[in-house]
Amino acid sequence: MSEAKNTSFEECLQKLIVSLEASLYEEATTQLANLHSAEIARLLEAIPPKDRAQLWLNIDTGTQGDILKDLSEEVRTQLLSKMEVDSIVEATESLDMDDLADIVPNLPESALHNLLLTLDHKHRNHLKRVLSYPEDSAGGLMNIDIITVRDDVTVRTVIRYLRLLKEMPIDTDQVFVVDRAYKYLGSIHISTLLTNEAEQNIAPLINKNFHPIVADMPEHEVANLFERRDLISAPVVDKNNQLIGRITIDDVVDVIRDQAEHSVMSMAGLSEEEDVFAPVLQSSKRRSIWLGVNLVTVFVAVFFISLFEATLQEKIALAILMPVVASMGGIAGTQTLILVTRGIATGRITTSNLKVLMNKEVAIGVLNGIVWSLVISAATYIWFADLMLSLVIALAIIVNLIFAAFSGAFLPLLLIRFKIDPALAGGVILTTITDVIGFVAFLGLATLVL
């Protein structure tokens, strides 16, 4: 349980792999004994599926529950499929309702049925409530272990009540104040309870400034709200302003991490949940989709090359240089695309400031187009000693860099209009545009001039 152990995660993994390679599964299990469940989850994700399953069945069911909630969805599903129904129920029955709700979609039907039977009426209703909201909404993120008080009591009464509870739910930084109908009135930070005199009425201590989160708020808005306001926890209400739960920062951190993972992974058409050690056949299939999309776009681009076959035949230097034009456009366009896509995701760019941005990006395109066309045409002249060729490539570079800037700025907003994720589709569409414009500008100009 020490942070000394975190720094040696790599050592843990190394030892574990050595034991597993020697098929010493018991020794490997012992190595996991004192680790935190999140660390065991990471170790399991870092070993091949075969060893993973073996090791998993050696871990006692009490620990399995905590590990399950920390695993990525794909690995979780894989390990659940190796377990008996009874063990699944035993492992999961002690989890918090919000963690359980995350796992429920991956449970085999029979296990879910038995699990629901083990829950008492109150918990079953809680689970149903959490499950009734989409996984990626505030309702899906929330936990239902809240402490509520009335507004007509003193600090002493509240503290007496808390002492009766014996302990508070983990990460409780505030208690919520509700009326008789359980409508949300405000919150009191628990530090306020400690710094005020026992006789103090709580009414003036209530923070009424924060409007509670409505359960259907999308999770990325919840994350933005937590980030902007530096929140630790926040109350969640239903449409009637009735308090139904709270969201804590640890779950929000997971959302932020997943979003980040998603934007990086989707650039290569990968899903953020992909198991690094997924079976070869499964990975091949998944990646093939993206290779297929790329194949279509590259055939579109080369079709445009084929239109200029005669010109290419006449001057083979064009064939040699055409990747230069396409690639410079691709890079310039991707810079604008990423900047704008991130700007939209973080809220800095909206339709209201798009015009200013577009002007700026096109101006950069013109400027960089001029600068780099000079460099490239000089290099071309030195290489091929052909003045017309140098002029043609210079012009093509300028045209492509301006179009690249324009497309890079415009494309993300266009894709969002059509409800397509720009982080996923933006790159591949953009490079198709810059390839086609690069080839057509370069070879087309050459056909006219040479």
Q: Which of residues 339-368 bind its own copies (CB under 8 A)?
A: 339, 342-343, 346-353, 356-357, 360, 363-364, 367-368
Q: Select the span of 60-68, 93-101, 280-288, 411-419 touching its own copies (CB under 8 A).
A: 280-288
C-alpha distance from residue 28 to each of 16, 18, 52, 150, 153 (Å): 6, 9, 11, 52, 55
7 binds its own copies (CB under 8 A): yes
Candidates 84, 105, 257, 449; binder of its own copies (CB under 8 A) is 257
Distance in Å, CB of 118 to its own copies, minimum:
26
Beta carbons of 67 and 44 less than 8 angstroms apart:
yes
Burial class (CB in 10 A: 0-12, 13-18, 19+), 299: exposed
Residue keyed to tokens 């000693």: 385
Candidates 22, 253, 388, 449; binder of its own copies (CB under 8 A) is 253
Distance in Å, CB of 103 to its own copies, minimum:
17
Q: Which residue, 148 or 192, has its beta carbon nearer to its own copies?
A: 192
Candidates 53, 95, 256, 425; binder of its own copies (CB under 8 A) is 256
Binding to its own copies, residues 40-79 (CB under 8 A): 42, 45-48
Distance in Å, CB of 87 to its own copies, minimum:
25
Q: Return the H-helix or E-strand segment holding 155.
A: helix 155-165
CA nearest to 425, candidates 285, 283, 318, 269: 269
Binding to its own copies, residues 181-200 (CB under 8 A): 190-197
Candidates 277, 399, 429, 445; binder of its own copies (CB under 8 A) is 277
94 binds its own copies (CB under 8 A): no
Amino acid at 35: L
d(CA 74, CA 278) in angstroms, rounded, equals 9
Tokens matching residue 305: 């090359």
Backbone φ/ψ region at 153: left (φ over 0), alpha (ψ -120 to 50), beta: beta
Amino acid at 320: I
The count of other CB atoms within 10 Å of the CB of residue 351 is 10
Tokens matching residue 113: 């049925």
Candidates 104, 116, 153, 319; binder of its own copies (CB under 8 A) is 319
323 binds its own copies (CB under 8 A): yes
Q: Which residue, 3 or 120, has its beta carbon nearer to its own copies?
A: 3
Distance in Å, CB of 138 to its own copies, minimum:
10
d(CA 45, CA 77) in angstroms, rounded, equals 12
By CB under 8 A, the count of residues binding its own copies is: 132
Candidates 232, 374, 416, 450; binder of its own copies (CB under 8 A) is 232
d(CA 381, CA 92) in angstroms, rounded, equals 71
Q: Select the span of 79-87, 109-117, 120-128, 246-254 touching its own copies (CB under 8 A).
A: 246-254
Beta carbons of 407 and 366 less than 8 angstroms apart:
no
Which string of b and e fits 25-36 if b means at least 16 CB within 10 Å? eeebbebbeebe
Distance in Å, CB of 423 to its own copies, minimum:
8
CA nearest to 182, candidates 228, 211, 226, 151: 151
Candidates 95, 104, 225, 358; binder of its own copies (CB under 8 A) is 225
Binding to its own copies, residues 102-121 (CB under 8 A): none
Beta carbons of 173 and 232 less than 8 angstroms apart:
yes
- Those residues whose C-beta lies under 8 Å from the C-beta of residue 156, and which sit 6 or more positions away, are 198, 199
33 binds its own copies (CB under 8 A): no
d(CA 245, CA 130) in angstroms, rounded, equals 9
Binding to its own copies, residues 133-162 (CB under 8 A): 159, 162
Distance in Å, CB of 84 to its own copies, minimum:
28
Amino acid at 159: I
Candidates 30, 33, 211, 449; binder of its own copies (CB under 8 A) is 211
Binding to its own copies, residues 369-398 (CB under 8 A): 371-372, 375-376, 379
d(CA 149, CA 176) in angstroms, rounded, equals 6
Specify the pairing of strand 243-248 against strand 233-237.
antiparallel
Distance in Å, CB of 152 to its own copies, minimum:
20
Distance in Å, CB of 86 to its own copies, minimum:
29
Distance in Å, CB of 218 to its own copies, minimum:
10
Q: Which residue, 159 or 391, has its beta carbon nearer to its own copies?
A: 159
Q: Select the span of 81-89, 104-112, 119-127, 284-292 touching its own copies (CB under 8 A).
A: 284-292
Candidates 328, 424, 437, 441; binder of its own copies (CB under 8 A) is 328
